[in-house]
Amino acid sequence: MQMRLSDIGEGIAEVQMKQWHVKIGDQIQEFENLCDVQSDKASVTITSRFSGTVRRLYCEVEEIVPVGSPLLDIEAEGVQFYCHGSENIPPDKAVDQSEEIQKRAKSDDSFTRSKGKKIVIATPSVRRLAMENKINLSEIKGTGPGGRIVKEDLLNMISANVDASDDEKKSFSTTSALIQDQVIPIRGYRRAMVKTMTSANSIPHFTYCDEVNADALIKLRHNLMSMDELKDVKITYLSIQIKALSLALLRFPMLNAYLNDTVTELICKASHNISFAVDTPDGLVVPFISDCQKKSIIQIAKQISDLQAKALNNKLTNAELVGGTFTMSNIGSIGGTYASPIIFPPQVAICAVGRFQKLPRYDEQGNLKMSNIMPVSWAADHRIIDGAMVAKFSNLFKVYLENPSLMLTELN
């Protein structure tokens, strides 16, 4: 029986294969995990609808798979598995994939014959990579099932070609690590970012910058980290900043809102679902912490750690990515001070926190001293949020962080 990639919703037309959990010959049970795929919105684990034996995998890791395409063949109990050939394979006969590949060599688009009549077995993505690098696939010995040429075979050939010509290229060496132009498909999280930022281009951004004296914030974090009962919790500045942000939003609900497409209604959201940016190898991803107005700093810190781990392992679900009401970007963890953050529609505001700096500042008595300064940058949708509101909101956020004990007065 053939399993195809079904519609996973949200208007997704294709996904990228990230990981197979099964291999040819594996005995699997119904609802067992088969593979992980990633769309431009989230990662999804595909489970089996049948119990049986895996007979064929149709795509490789990193390959793009359109919705409706076959994923794998499963030989279910008492049922013959699907095969493109004219023969039906009886259930009691174990079929090696390499034999099936040879049978299909004459009719499948994944097979071609070179002039030397050698069968070349490769996926479209491998053929495209070979074409871009002007490599004849018939010269490569495939290491995959049935002699299939996999991406690693091609990369090894490219590497060998580069090594062989190193002496010729030494006199033309440059500071660039690339030997030639590289084409990078816009997939997964990066494609989602393209869509979001293109949509944000229609929003007139109002930006506002300020600085926060972070001495009290640093002391609070140090005190929390020194508590024995919290030794297993990763307390970050971000967890405290998000709590302060949520408390400030209680006074300014218009900033925790969605603007509808026709710009006729502003929907103030009861839940403070604070999104935060995570830098991953696959691009920027923005999960959210739900109901921050109901959670403690410790609960927020735990959820940040969980979501960061999921993001770095491509395990975030769509439910953890779609639904944020306000976004905070901790760009300072990488570098930089002030920024011009871009709003994530349909949200109406965003905050970016810069890198802490030790700078000279005057205290209330007029004495000059070194202080830990945290730069803060805000952006708001100027169609419905005015500058005065952003300034007042920023002032309250600043008060909470510079005087953390005041946050206790707002807790229920």
The active-site residue, picked from 26, 279, 306, 382, is 382
To which residue do tokens 């959210």 refer? 288
- Number of neighbouring beta carbons within 10 Å of residue 316: 24
The active-site residue, picked from 96, 108, 291, 386, is 386
The span from the CA of 73 to the CA of 52, in Å, is 10
Active site residue 386: yes
Strand ranges for 5-141 from DSSP E: 14-20, 27-28, 33-38, 43-47, 52-57, 64-66, 70-76, 111-113, 119-121
- Number of neighbouring beta carbons within 10 Å of residue 70: 16
The span from the CA of 375 to the CA of 209, in Å, is 7
Closest CA to 353 of 293, 401, 392, 309: 401
**What is the secondary structure of 202-267 as a DSSP string?**
TS-EEEEEEEEE-HHHHHHHHHHHT-GGGTTS---HHHHHHHHHHHHHHH-GGGSEEE-TTSS-EE
The span from the CA of 137 to the CA of 122, in Å, is 8
Cα diameter, the chain: 91
The span from the CA of 177 to the CA of 131, in Å, is 21
CA Rg value for the chain = 28
Residues comprising the chain, all counted: 412
Q: Are strands 278-280 and 283-285 parallel, antiparallel or unpaired?
A: antiparallel
**C-alpha distances in angstroms, 367 versus 80, 213, 318, 402?**
85, 15, 52, 18
Which sequence positions are flagged as catalytic? 382, 386
